[in-house]
Chain A
Amino acid sequence: MLEKPLKVPELLVPAGSLEKLKVAVDYGADAIYLAGLKFGLRAAADNFTETELDEGIRYAHEREVKVYLVLNGFLHDKDLSELPDFLKYIEKIGVDAVIVSDLGVIETVKNHSNLEIHLSTQASCLNAQSAKFWKNFGVTRIVVGREVSLSEVKDIKAKVDIEIEMFIHGSMCMAYSGNCTISNYTQGRDSNRGGCAHSCRFQYSLEQNDQKLSSFFMSSKDLNGLSLIEEFSKAGVDSVKVEGRMKSHLYAGTVAKVYSEALNEFKNTGKLEAQRISFWQNELKKFTHREYAEVNLIEKAGADTVYFERENENNYGMLGRVLEVKDEYFVMQVRHAFEVGHSLEILPFKGSPIKLDIQNMSSLTNEPIERTKPSTLVKIPLPRERVVEANYLIRGFK
């Protein structure tokens, strides 16, 4: 243990719904980013109604977790006319900052609120001069473009006094963010106002004269910067961001848990043992993801950062969550079916996963069950360790 803990970046985790916000907070996020029903880039996520926003912010703030709200669509004039009332509302309920990519939105935020403004990665801010430009408009934090390396962040920090947020984990846009309108012109869905159809993940046939091949040539591997936490810290990154408001509860819980444990360990010891990194990397494989790469974090992304395969769902994933704990059993909400004889893992908020061999289980009316059904509740005897709490996630082979 270090005498004086090191300064480490804030861990910023996505929440696509109120439930996911609670998962991310419970599993260790320092800050959450989320969207209301409008103005964001992930219209297909559940997102938050005003009452859910209110509850989510209270839940997070009671646990000293900050909440940033994304307004990062490239808004058209008619969208902007609806924004001022929403700004007043989110300021009133205590949103800590808004994440914005459009100068028109920045001006509207400044004119109708005192909300802190973070610049979205969607604005593709890639260099110090650009950071200076945005600082002049009152931006206090830049989420740098995903093309920026850690050494470049260090240079930008040296030249501009501004907070830097950087992606550390998750799916990657292949294009410079904000510079892809494939969905607009092929699907009639504005990729920069929440309608991205992920055309970059499609398989394409490439042709030149008599040469032809078939490939997922524009699909990126997922970012994984776990092994570079020390470099993030040394570069002066203020906040490390996890992508994925559309992703699962298990994803939100696992990335929050893994990265918060790793950041805390580095903060307190100044190092991360290889064995610990290996353990955490294994944890990051226990949900659906593409092959991992460090992409642009160290050097410019090459051909080895393209994901040339069709996406498949991981057969290891979330089976449910703990709803209520009694003296001898707990009640589990089942998401994916499993049966007696299966081995599950309970994911505690802190500490190692707890192995759970299912020897018997029953319905709420105490009838024995051999195989569960999704969207039902079951009673399961407590494991020997008995350290089970409500809202723990349970995972296993689906």
Chain B
Amino acid sequence: MRLSYAIENEEQLKLLNPKVDEVIIACKELSRFSHLNLEEASQLIKIAKDSGFNVFFDFDVLSTESDFKFLTNEFLKLPFQFITAIRVQDLGIAEFIKSTTDLDLHLITETGNHNLIGLKAYESYFGKRVTRFVVSSELNYELLKSYSQELNTPLEALGFGRLLIFYTPRKLVSHYDRFEWINEQIEVSASSEESPHKGFPVLENKHGTFMYHIKELFLFDKMDLLIESGLFSVRVDLRHRDGKLLELFVNNIKLGLTGPELKKKIAPKSIRGYFLTNKSDVLFKKLKNYRIQRKDSHYLGEVIDASKDNYLAIELKGSADLKVGDEITIYNPDGKIKDVRIEILKDFSGNSLEEKKMGLVLTKYLSGVWVKAQLYQKSAQNF
């Protein structure tokens, strides 16, 4: 397993070993996050390459049609001879790089690609030009392990750094005059006043506004699982932090430190995200009241008015007839079930009916049956 470090200067480069480490370099013009301009990034790219590193460049912004030409023109100014691969999320930019350069692609599939079929389709389409998938932090290690086995393309995931959870091209902070720009970006801390979540880092720069998780992701205390997951590379991105943390991390990794001791020393307030398990869809299903959902072809309709001691008004919506003498089952929204026999049917003018298909009908009031109760032919439905 290799480590890919996002770096911004020579001092950071000197901490790393080109035999096992790789470097990611970015610039303000083309990348979501960087303190370097294109010229500074180009110089660092050359130095890193001359030092024996594989150099990857972040062209990871998304681009609308009107910005596309400017961005790709800037991109063409990079010293391609020193770059091993371009890291890209926008598929239009990926197409552009594929058709205008010989550079390899590291496809950023962190959002919207959580299945093997999709990743295989990318692999098939880009062929040998895609040499890495940067995969989502929502994939747990078991999925990573199976993907690593199933795909020909090596995988990379974030191992230590900020988790990006929101990206917009709109400038959401700078219009408040009171916040200070530092190196062409503004960073504030956002705390929800309607939930317990406090202290999201929010960063605005020329590409828009980015929100990150309150805590950094840190997986290196589970080094055994990282290795077992089959990831080809694990990314470390501490460009938002003091350079000393990177040094501390690199030195401890070199010493072979892992487990809780490493976490305590390096990232005590970090999270593991979904690396061990992803249960993000479990809670939400509970919001549904399945009892008032229409189910099958035995469906008759819905109670739309219940006038005590007078009538139940029913809107017949299903394809089946309702007849006097029919045995039906009524499912109340609270889950109570009643089996009843239809004794009378009337239209809204009070005329007696023998049967009715679709439309509106009245029947005898039944205690304990409410509006929105669902009617089915008896025994046709099992909840």
Once A126-B90, A185-B213 are accepted as A-B contacts, the answer to whether A207 and B188 lie under 8 Å apart by CB is: yes
Instruction: A156 to B271: give the CA distance in the assembly, Å.
Output: 42
Inter-subunit contact B192/A202 (CB<8 Å): yes
Are B121's CB and A104's CB within 8 A?
yes
Give the docked Cα–Cα distance between A151 and B91 (Å).
21
Looking at B9-17, B48-56, B57-65, the stretch in contact with chain A turns out to be B57-65
A276 to B271, CA, bound (A): 56
B273 close to A185 (CB less than 8 A)? yes
Asked whether B178 lies within 8 Å of A148 as measured between CB atoms, the reply is no
- In whole angstroms, how far apart are the Cα atoms of A55 and B68 in the complex? 45
Complex CA distance for A151 and B65, rounded to whole angstroms: 9
Chain B residues closer than 8 Å to A205, beta-carbon distance: 190-191, 193
A51 within 8 A of B: yes
Across the interface, do A182 and B280 meet the contact criterion of CB distance under 8 Å? Answer: no
A274 interface residue per 8 A CB criterion: no
The reply to whether the CB of A115 lies closer than 8 angstroms to some CB of chain B is no
Chain B CB within 10 A, most for which of A128, A302, A364:
A364
Asked if B113 and A49 make an inter-chain contact with CB atoms under 8 angstroms apart, the answer reads no
Segment of A71-79, A90-98, A253-261 engaged in the interface with chain B: A71-79
Q: Could you tell me if B65 and A180 are in contact, using CB atoms closer than 8 angstroms?
A: no
Decide: B168 and A175 in contact? CB cutoff 8 A: yes
Q: Are A128 and B92 in contact (CB under 8 A)?
A: yes
List, in ascending order, chain B residues with CB within 8 A of A204's CB. Answer: 190-193, 200
Closest residue to B99 on the A side, CB-wise? A129
Return chain A residues, CB-CB under 8 Å to B178: 208, 211, 213
Q: Is the CB of A126 within 8 A of B62?
A: yes
Which chain A residues border B360 with CB–CB below 8 Å? 323-324, 331
A103-B118, A104-B116 known; A188 and B282 CB under 8 Å? Answer: yes
Q: Which listed residue (A126, A134, A365) contacts B310, Cβ 8 A?
A: A365
Across the interface, B349 reaches (CB within 8 A) one of A104, A326, A376, namely A326
**Within A143-183, which residues are at the interface with B (CB < 8 Å)?**
145, 147-149, 151-152, 155-156, 174-176, 178-182
Does B344 sit at the interface, judged by CB under 8 A?
no
Interface SS, A side: mixed
The answer to whether B116 and A77 touch across the interface, beta carbons within 8 angstroms, is: yes
Please tell me if the beta carbons of B92 and A127 are within 8 angstroms of each other in the complex: yes
Given the known inter-chain contacts A101-B112, A102-B113, A147-B64, please indicate yes or no for A107 contacting B118, CB distance below 8 A: yes
CB within 8 Å for A44 and B186 given contacts A74-B113, A184-B165, A301-B170? no
Given contacts A103-B118, A204-B193, A208-B179, contact A151 B66 (CB under 8 A): yes
> Which A residue's beta carbon lies closest to that of B282?
A188
Q: Are B294 and A49 in contact (CB under 8 A)?
A: yes
Query: Does A363 count as interface, using CB distance less than 8 angstroms?
Result: yes
Q: Are A51 and B168 in contact (CB under 8 A)?
A: no
Choose among B94, B170, B273 the residue that contacts A305 (Cβ–Cβ < 8 A).
B170
B166 at the interface (CB under 8 A from A): yes
Q: Tell me if B191 and A207 are in contact (CB < 8 A).
A: yes
**Residues of A with C-beta under 8 A to B166:** 174-175, 179-182, 200, 218
Task: Judge whether B264 is part of the interface by a CB distance below 8 angstroms.
Answer: no
CB pair B283–A174 under 8 Å, yes or no, is no
Question: Shortest CB–CB separation between residue B122 and chain A, in angstroms?
Answer: 6
Cross-chain contact A136 with B125 (CB below 8 angstroms): yes
Query: Roughly how many angstroms separate A75 CA and B68 CA in the complex, as a whole number?
Result: 29
| CB closest chain-A residue, reference B370 | A375
Contact status B65-A152, CB under 8 Å: yes
**CB pair A187 B348 closer than 8 Å:** no
Report B64 CB to chain A, min CB distance, Å: 5
The answer, yes or no, to whether A124 is at the interface (CB within 8 Å) is: yes
Bound together, the chains give a CA A376 to CA B90 distance in angstroms of 53
Say yes or no for B141: interface residue by CB 8 A criterion. Answer: no
7 A-B pairs in the complex with CB atoms less than 8 angstroms apart:
A75-B114, A80-B115, A102-B112, A104-B117, A127-B64, A149-B66, A206-B202
Top 3 A-B residue pairs of the complex, sorted by shortest distance between their CB atoms: A104-B118, A130-B92, A129-B92
Chain A residues within CB distance 8 Å of chain B: 18, 37, 43-44, 46, 49-52, 55, 74-77, 79-80, 101-108, 122-134, 136-137, 145, 147-149, 151-152, 155-156, 174-176, 178-182, 184-190, 192-195, 199-200, 202-209, 211, 213-215, 217-218, 220, 300-303, 305-306, 323-324, 326, 331, 333, 363-365, 375-377
Given contacts A130-B91, A206-B190, 12 further A-B contacts (CB under 8 A): A106-B118, A124-B62, A126-B92, A127-B92, A145-B64, A148-B65, A176-B169, A217-B173, A302-B171, A364-B310, A364-B313, A377-B305
